[in-house]
């Protein structure tokens, strides 16, 4: 895994993007649970995004940037339509 | 057996002294906190075969340091995944599994070292041990918060202080154990007395009883790096024992026993228990940030407050890593060269020790103070004071270069120590902040998921720091080269400026070497190498400050029904 940054602004953007990426995976994890996709299915689907991210990172920064929105948009098509709030 | 570990089996009886939970939690955190002492294993791990110095087939430093990164990543992942399980089975079960993973991880890692299988070290210490770290870290948090609803910050501060102090205690075990099991390799004699041959790959061999055997050579410069001092000369590879595998086995057994004892010390309060004379704060505007309702662990992931706290923790850790990574170097490079009479080797070593002490004390003091200041206010202090201190460090470094006064050294020392207390305080205060925002019912599990922020910072923090340093060095070198006469450059380095990139890569051209041929009056850029790091960390803290400032109570639609 190698990254090359030419200035501190790029490093800042990298940190922000990494944070957004991890938070979006966590959000998907929670979203899966509130759509009755808990357990194996709910655990595996977000994991696919984690693996995709890891693979993308090994191919370089640009691949990671491309993989994230594709995976994220795909989630909105894959997930069940109805959600509920876990209150008890 | 498993029944003994279950949650229902550890409900405390009436009159149980809640303070007994604190040493149990502290015990687990002191054991797993030893992960920060990983660097003490590195010198031994890279001499597994050569023992006195690295042999050709020994592991590289880079390959063994990856083990630590793997452990930190699996800390976050295991804490995130197992958080829900923790709430179901209780702290004793999780603490016991953590003991098995952390102790067992050392054992498997030890076998990896003995057999020379690096992947076993990664699997043992990194993956399995990392899972033990995550489970052990979150196991006492929710229990402590339930036992100390009146002093949540102080309670979690005690436990998490242990994580900060674990490395200091480990230092006094790791080095003696390695030396205890160390066995020097067979000494063949001084270099002049042994006939050596070198093969095509650069390995050195000596004839022993008519057979060519691989050897390593200890020169004058290698003696300082020997774990146990010995004479200069030729040593037979594979005949000694570095002692690190045996140290792994011993430490694994010790940690396992202590953590199991601590796990068996866990008790959970009975449903509805509260300290005598204490009433939950009323739900008025004055206590709006302390919720009396709980949010489900999965539901918490759908609230903005979770991500605000994620940013708060992640960026506080990233900024802390930023200054941790450069503080010692800054002390040596900047103050060591400008105030050499004060900043010697002993001073620098004490400074490193003080980093750990202040980091540990900050965990307890800031977390305890947050019970009175309020969690949001405590992080306000972290970020506003942090921004000021981070921005002031480049000025200090610049001033000491121009005017080498001890005042700047005192300021730098004090500023970095305050930063380290806030770095530790950020870790220790976050569980209480979570309990305030999401309630106490699932706080352990939610805390586990929030620890992904730590793992993330642990991966991209050092990456960012390294990149910033490279950018600064590159810019400084280009700036210096532009001021140097090309002929002087050619004479000094035997190549033209057009080959600068190759010369920098080969470490032939460095800032200090360029300063030797720079025109008189050229300012040494070493002091300003860390400016971008400090300013970027201040910007990151500003983002965290915004996330903290906009923190509001969770929308009631997310609350669990009674």
Tell me the pLDDT tens digit for each residue of B67-121. Answer: 988 898 899 889 988 888 888 899 999 999 999 999 999 999 999 999 999 999 9
User: Hey, of A19, A28, A34, A60, which one would you mutate to test binding to chain B, going by the most B CBs within 10 A of its CB?
Assistant: A19
Question: Rounded to an integer, what distance in angstroms lies between the CA atom of residue B63 and that of residue B78?
Answer: 23
Delimiting residues of CATH 1.20.1250.20 domain(s) in chain B:
1-183+241-267
**Model confidence at A67: pLDDT above 80:** no
Tell me how many residue pairs between chain A and chain B have CB atoms under 8 A apart. 84
* pLDDT for B188: 92
Q: Which residue of B has its CA nearest to A2?
A: B463
Q: Is residue A88 part of a domain?
A: no
Q: Is residue A36 part of a domain?
A: yes
Q: Do B453 and A87 touch (CB under 8 A)?
A: no
**Model confidence at A65: pLDDT above 80:** no
Question: Rounded to an integer, what distance in angstroms lies between the CA atom of residue B137 and that of residue B141?
Answer: 8
**Model confidence at A61: pLDDT above 80:** no
In this complex, the residue of B301, B456, B543 whose CB is nearest that of residue A27 is B301
Q: What are residue B207's phi and psi, to 5 degrees?
A: -85, 120
Q: Do A22 and B456 touch (CB under 8 A)?
A: yes
| DSSP annotation of B126 | I
In this complex, the residue of A5, A31, A43 whose CB is nearest that of residue B302 is A31
Q: Is residue A37 part of a domain?
A: yes
pLDDT tens-digit map of B179-213:
999 999 999 999 888 888 888 777 889 988 888 89
Give me the CATH code for the B289-453+534-554 domain, please.
1.20.1250
Average pLDDT along chain A: 77
CATH 1.10.1040.10 fits B1-183+241-267, yes or no: no
* pLDDT for B351: 86
Residues 11-50 on A with a CB inside 8 Å of B are: 11-12, 14-16, 18-19, 22-23, 26-27, 29-31, 33-34, 38, 43
Q: Which residue of A has its CA nearest to B461?
A: A15
Give residue ranges of B with CB < 8 Å to any A CB: 80-81, 296, 298-302, 306-307, 310-311, 314-315, 318, 449, 452-453, 456, 460, 463-464, 467-468, 471, 532, 535-536, 539-540, 543, 557-561
Question: Rounded to an integer, what distance in angstroms lies between the CA atom of residue B430 and that of residue B118?
Answer: 36
Q: Is residue A1 part of a domain?
A: no
Q: Chain B partners of A27 at a C-beta cutoff of 8 Å?
A: 301-302, 307
CB B186 within 8 A of CB B246: no
Q: Do B464 and A22 touch (CB under 8 A)?
A: no
Range of the domain at A73: 8-78
In this complex, the residue of B464, B558, B560 whose CB is nearest that of residue A15 is B464
CB B284 within 8 A of CB B293: no
Q: Do B536 and A12 touch (CB under 8 A)?
A: yes
Tokens standing for B500? 């600068």
Mark B171-203 as b/e (b = at least 16 C-beta within 10 Å): bebbbebbeebbebbebbeeeeebeeeeeeeee
Alpha helices (H) in B46-140, listed in sequence order = 61-89, 91-115, 118-121, 129-138
Cα separation values, B348 from B197, B251, B398, Å:
42, 29, 20
Question: Rounded to an integer, what distance in angstroms lies between the CA atom of residue B491 and that of residue B489?
Answer: 5
* pLDDT for A87: 64
ipTM over 0.90: no
CB A68 within 8 A of CB A53: yes
Average pLDDT along chain B: 89
Question: Rounded to an integer, what distance in angstroms lies between the CA atom of residue B14 and that of residue B355?
Answer: 42
- Non-local (6+) Cβ contacts of B189 within 8 A are B233, B234
Residues forming beta bridges with residue B236, ordered by sequence position: B215
Overall number of domains in chain A: 1
């Amino acid at each position: 895994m190698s990254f090359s940054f030419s200035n501190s602004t790029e490093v800042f953007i990298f940190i922000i993007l990494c944070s957004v990426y991890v938070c979006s995976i966590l959000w998907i994890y929670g979203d899966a649970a509130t759509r009755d996709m808990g357990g194996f299915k709910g655990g595996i689907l977000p994991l696919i995004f984690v693996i995709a991210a890891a693979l993308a990172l090994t191919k370089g920064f640009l691949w990671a940037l491309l993989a994230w929105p594709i995976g994220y948009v795909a989630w909105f098509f894959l997930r069940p339509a109805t959600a509920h709030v876990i209150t008890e | 057996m498993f029944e003994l570990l279950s949650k229902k089996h550890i409900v405390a009886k009436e009159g149980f002294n809640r303070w007994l939970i604190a040493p149990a939690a502290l015990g687990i955190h002191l054991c797993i906190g030893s992960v920060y002492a990983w660097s003490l294993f590195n010198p031994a791990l890279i001499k597994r075969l050569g023992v006195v110095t690295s042999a050709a087939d020994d592991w590289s430093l880079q390959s063994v340091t990856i083990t630590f990164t793997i452990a930190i990543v699996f800390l976050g992942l295991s804490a995130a995944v197992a958080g829900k399980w923790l709430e179901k089975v209780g702290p004793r079960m999780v603490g016991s599994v953590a003991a098995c993973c952390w102790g067992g991880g050392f054992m498997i890692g030890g076998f990896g070292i003995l057999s020379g299988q690096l992947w076993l070290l990664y699997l043992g210490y990194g993956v399995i041990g990392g899972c033990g770290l995550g489970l052990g870290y979150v196991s006492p948090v929710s229990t402590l918060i339930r036992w100390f609803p009146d002093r949540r910050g102080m309670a979690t501060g005690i436990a998490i202080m242990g994580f900060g102090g674990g490395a200091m205690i480990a230092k006094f075990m790791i080095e003696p154990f390695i030396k205890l099991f160390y066995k020097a390799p067979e000494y063949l004699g001084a270099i002049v007395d042994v006939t050596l041959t070198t093969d095509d790959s650069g390995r050195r061999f000596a004839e022993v009883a008519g057979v060519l055997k691989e050897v390593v050579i200890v020169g004058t410069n290698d003696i300082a790096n020997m774990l146990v001092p010995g004479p200069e000369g030729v040593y037979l590879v594979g005949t000694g024992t570095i002692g690190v595998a045996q140290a792994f086995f011993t430490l694994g057994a010790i940690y396992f026993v202590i953590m199991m004892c601590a796990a068996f010390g866990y008790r959970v309060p009975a449903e509805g228990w509260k300290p005598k004379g204490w009433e939950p704060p009323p739900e008025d505007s004055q206590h709006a940030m302390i919720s009396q309702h709980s949010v489900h662990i999965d539901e918490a992931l759908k609230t903005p407050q979770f991500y605000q706290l994620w940013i708060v923790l992640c960026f506080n850790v990233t900024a802390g890593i930023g200054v941790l990574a450069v503080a010692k170097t800054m002390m040596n490079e900047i103050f060591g060269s400008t105030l050499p009479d004060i900043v010697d080797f002993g001073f620098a070593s004490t400074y490193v020790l003080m980093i750990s002490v202040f980091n540990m004390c900050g965990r307890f003091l800031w977390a305890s103070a947050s019970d009175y200041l309020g969690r949001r206010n405590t992080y306000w202090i972290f970020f506003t004071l942090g921004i000021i201190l981070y921005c002031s460090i480049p000025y200090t470094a610049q001033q000491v270069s121009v005017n080498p006064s001890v005042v700047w050294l005192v300021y730098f020392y004090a500023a970095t120590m305050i930063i380290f207390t806030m770095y530790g305080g950020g870790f220790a205060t976050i569980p209480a902040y979570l309990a305030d925002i999401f309630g106490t019912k699932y706080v352990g599990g939610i805390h586990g998921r929030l620890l992904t922020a730590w793992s993330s910072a642990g991966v991209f923090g050092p990456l960012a720091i390294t990149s910033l340093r490279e950018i600064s060095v590159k810019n400084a070198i280009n700036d210096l080269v532009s001021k140097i006469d090309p002929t002087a450059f050619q004479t000094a380095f035997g190549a033209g400026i057009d080959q600068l990139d190759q010369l920098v890569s080969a470490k032939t051209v460095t800032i200090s070497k360029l300063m030797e041929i720079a025109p008189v009056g050229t300012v040494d850029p070493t002091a300003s190498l860390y400016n971008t790091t400090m300013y970027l960390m201040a910007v990151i803290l500003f983002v965290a400050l915004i996330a903290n400032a906009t923190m509001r109570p969770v929308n009631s639609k997310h609350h669990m029904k009674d």
